[in-house]
Amino acid sequence: MSKLGTITRRTFIVASTAVVGGVLFGTYKYKQPVPNPLLGGDDATNLDFASPNPYIKIDQDGVTVITPRAEMGQGIHSTLAMMVAEEMDLDWKTIKTEHGPASNSYYVGIMMETLVGHQYDHSASTQRKRKLTHIPAKFLGIQMTGGSMSTPDGFVKMRSAGASARLVLMQAAAEQWGVDAISLTTDNGFVINPANDEKLSYTSLAVKAAQLDAPASPPLRDPSQWRYIGKSVARVDIPAKTRGTAEFAIDVKQEGMLHATIKMSPRFGAGIKSSDTSKAAAMPGVEKIVQLENNGFAVIANNTWRAFKAANAIVVEWETASYPADQAGIMEIYEDSFRSEPNGTFDEKGDIDLFFADKGDIVEAEYRVPHLAHSTMEPMTAVAQVNNGRVDIWAGNQAPVIIRDAIMELGGYEASDVHIHTTFLGGGFGRRAETDFSVVAYHIATQTNGRPVKVTWSREEDMQHDFYRPAAIARFKGVMGEKKPQAIDIQIASPSIMLSMSKRGPIPAIGPDPLIAEGTAGQPDDIENIRIRTFAPELDIPVGFWRSVGASYNGFFHESFMDELAASRDIDPVVMRLEMFGDLAPPANKVVEKVAEMAGWVGREGINAGASNRGRGFAYTLSYGAHTAQIIDVSMTERGIKIDRIYCAVDVGVAIDPRNIEAQIQSGIIYGLSSAMSGEITFADGMVVQSNYHDYPAMRMHQVPDIEVAILENNPRISGVGEPGTPPSIPALANAIFALTGQRIRELPMNKHIEFV
């Protein structure tokens, strides 16, 4: 079954199939052209827009930047549009953006780069190897938003798209005027002839430009010439969101639309023993009840509330789960995994077993974290229509190609038959990289005789049927030298996300899963003896990507233990960390020095800020290419511990939009601290206990202090910022609590051990 759409000169959005990034497949076309005399030129009656490459659309209303990454509040549509506008000479006030269709052309080129070398290794040989990983990434053709990949992946692609479009528009103007293109300039959406000050708009040149071959590797402007990059601009998504006109999946309306919800087995992998749907089927507004294979039901009704009420009325006896029924039994499987062969070994140096054999002064600690839900503000929602061999899915999603391909396989469709419309996302964090909510909507739509149906999950169904951040247990053992650790032995037990995802999608699980060690392995630690072993217990509890993935728990493990090692010798943890870095990663030294400067850190003797009721904690994590260091201040009140202030220094390589970077880092910190303070998913009788925000709470506004963010640009490569704020926030808080109380918290969430105000 081909995934290549038909392409013609008159109906294409891709002027050549390999304009940017060497994409040789996955081209597509938009709607059938309609007459449009506003464009001008001989082809005006045949095109309603023109495009020099797959990232830019020009029509009578101006320039639209196709931003093929999902906008879920992180401002990526503005960031990618800034890159295009920078090279294309566009007026920011006129910029429009639009999420592109599902297309392999929009593959994430840097997806596999993390398999090569450590993130702090920017040597020429490692960079060459990383570029080679773009080849298999291209053939996988996965269009995805996540992993803080959108900005670094688009940094060259989107600027090249803008530069290529500008050059081909200049060539079109040159041919119209009969002059040399090199003599022309551009500004704010116009090509200008300096000889006579004559100018032509991009819109008037679009059709002619679309007939020309656009350069595949145009020269890019020097940073000294940038007018947008490095400055904060008005985000393109904010006006619609503040006016209430932004369309999320839950807002989608289609003519004749039905409404539905689901009731799934509360035990993962368990089927239906017996059921009675008669009462639900007789309720007002219910159109139909559909059994979804052997593990759930869909209720189709004339509004969502009636669907919810009917779903609650279905009587079901469910089968038992294949995994232990209670939390203790589940964690026992984790503990048992330490006695099996490791899933992988990372960063091994020296002879760990020999070193620890004759050392008596050993520091040991065990840490535990629970499963976590994504708890997006907008519950899982998708609208689907199956009519006359065509499938339409409207959903806030992070992986449109994966959804498209899943539906193609289910229904035997061609790629041209399946249309994925990506709306704004009311939160993603990795949850909307899954296909389940869109695929379920498709199945339900096959039962509605061609009518569209909006499928909305209740908050309880959403919370209790997530693809969770896995729980984990880590066992650390270390020996301190005079200024830094001499040896560290690390064991981490956590289910393989890659294995879990490979059972439900196209991403294969090959070899050891590096995500289990992510955030511990690959840190710029100059330690002579080190070994990290991972163990992967298998349960039928689905796990998946969660903001910062493995680093979300390994940041806590690693940085808590670094603080324990420093405390064992009464060494300032900031000084110890700088000693550990050595010359491995200069940007790491600079973020640590910067955050210490911001907080007025004066060493361990000043860690309590001169008062018995104050404490400060430090942590550093390298994740997603961004060196990030944090210091958190806490104090003791009559009602419990209060977080007073947070300092963060992050090195992003190139700061596209400082204000947006600051917002993303603050968001990541709040997300991490929410999980640290109160986040946990637990099991009883094989079922998830938590069901809504009352028992899976987030930080409240009064709990969030001032968060000061310093943005550095010393890193040789640009990085994303959606996730790096999360990993160090959790250990920085734990270490601050230790400094305040002397209590070492090794198990999350922290509210099991202390009270917060």
User: pLDDT tens-digit profile of 310-321?
Assistant: 999 999 999 999
Q: What is the widest separation between alpha-carbon atoms in the chain?
A: 85
Res. 170: pLDDT tops 80: yes
Q: How far is Cα 579 from Cα 507, in angstroms, rounded to an integer?
A: 39
CA 165 → CA 107, 125, 219, 696, distances in Å? Answer: 20, 32, 12, 48
Once rounded to an integer, what is the mean pLDDT over residues 56-78?
94
As a whole number, mean pLDDT of residues 526-552 equals 97
| Percent of the residues in the chain that have a pLDDT greater than 70, as a whole number | 92
What's residue 356's pLDDT? 93
Which pLDDT band holds residue 609 (cuts at 50, 70, 90)? Answer: very low
Yes or no: say if 20 and 51 are a contact pair by the CB < 8 Å rule: no
pLDDT tens digits, one per residue of 688-744: 999 999 999 999 999 999 999 999 999 999 999 999 999 999 999 999 999 999 999
Q: In what order do the strands lie in the sheet with 50-53?
A: 50-53, 56-59, 62-66, 96-98
Average pLDDT over residues 37-54: 45
Q: Which residue has the higher pLDDT, 273 or 54?
A: 273
Q: How far apart are CA 595 and CA 713, in angstroms?
A: 14
* E strand intervals along 143-295: 185-187, 190-193, 198-201, 258-264, 272-276, 286-291
Predicted pLDDT of residue 221: 97
pLDDT at res. 334: 98
Answer for the pair 618, 558: CB distance below 8 angstroms, yes or no.
no
| Cα-based angle 212, 214, 216 (whole degrees, multiple of 5) | 155
Q: What is the DSSP string of 1-56?
A: ---PPP--SSS-S-SSTTSSTT--S-----SPP---GGG-STTTTT-S-EEEETTE
Distance separating alpha carbons of residues 98 and 76, to the nearest angstrom: 11
**pLDDT for the residue numbered 27:** 23
Rounded CA Rg of the chain: 27
pLDDT at 39 over 70: no
First to last CA, the chain: 58
* Identity of the amino acid at 260: A
The tokens for 169 are 């528009």
Residue-range domains of the chain with CATH = 37-107+142-243 (3.30.365.10), 249-320+380-456 (3.30.365.10), 327-372+467-752 (3.30.365.10)
Q: How far apart are CA 513 and CA 149, in angstroms?
A: 19
pLDDT band at 604 (very low <50, low <70, confident <90, very high): low
What is the pLDDT confidence band of residue 47, given thresholds at 50, 70 and 90? very low
- Residue 246 contacts residue 424 (beta carbons within 8 Å): yes
**Is residue 462 over pLDDT 70?**
yes
More confident residue, 428 or 31: 428
Q: What DSSP assignment string belongs to 645-680?
A: EEEEEEE-SS-S-HHHHHHHHHHHHHHHHHHHHH--
Is the per-residue pLDDT at 14 higher than 90?
no
- How far lies 106's CA from each of 67, 400, 401, 423, 553, in Å? 9, 10, 9, 17, 31
Residue 264 corresponds to which tokens in the numbers above?
């799934």
User: Which residue has 């079922």 as its token pair?
Assistant: 687
User: Which residue's structure tokens are 């239906």?
Assistant: 272
Which residues face 474 on adjacent strands?
Answer: 367, 492
User: How sure is the predictor about 602, in pLDDT bands with cuts at 50, 70 and 90?
Assistant: confident
Q: For residue 242, what pLDDT is reported?
A: 95
pLDDT per position as a tens digit, 95-105: 999 998 999 98
Least confident of 104-113, 347-356, 503-512: 503-512
* Per-residue model confidence (pLDDT) at position 61: 85
Q: pLDDT at position 603, please?
A: 72
Which pLDDT score, from 0 to 100, does residue 507 have?
76
Integer Cα distance of 63 and 92 in angstroms: 10
Q: Which of 652, 688, 654 is nearest to 668 (CA)?
A: 652
- pLDDT, tens digit (0-9, with 9 covering 90-100), for 627-679: 999 999 999 999 999 999 999 999 999 999 999 999 999 999 999 999 999 99
pLDDT of residue 51: 63
Looking only at the bridges linking them, the beta strands covering 56-59 and 390-395 are: unpaired
> What residues pair up with 492 in beta bridges, in sequence order?
474, 534
Distance CA 477, CA 57 (A): 57
Q: What is the DSSP letter of 585?
A: -
Nearest partner of 261 among 303, 317, 318, judged by Cα: 303
Mean pLDDT, all residues of the chain: 91
- DSSP annotation of 382: E
* Residue 16 reports pLDDT greater than 70: no
CA distance 700 to 676: 14
pLDDT digits (tens, 9 = 90+) for 182-226: 999 999 999 999 999 999 999 999 989 888 888 888 999 999 999
Query: Which position has the token pair 């190139």?
Result: 654
Question: Is the separation of the CB atoms in 104 and 26 below 8 Å?
Answer: yes
Residue 22 has pLDDT above 60, yes or no: no
Rounded mean pLDDT of 544-568?
98
C-alpha to C-alpha distance for 323 and 92, rounded to whole angstroms: 54
- Global pTM reads 0.92
- The residue among 505 and 322 whose pLDDT is bigger is 322
Residues whose CB is less than 8 angstroms from the CB of residue 182 and which lie 6 or more positions away in sequence, other chains included: none
Can you give the pLDDT at residue 32? 30
By the 10 Å C-beta count (0-12 exposed, 13-18 middle, 19+ buried), 62 is classed as middle
Residues 6+ apart with CB under 8 A from 434: 399, 467, 504, 505, 544
Percent of the chain with pLDDT over 90: 86
Instruction: Say how many CA atoms lie within 13 Å of 390 toward its Cβ.
Output: 8
For residue 388, is pLDDT > 50? yes
Residue 6 confidence (pLDDT) above 70: no
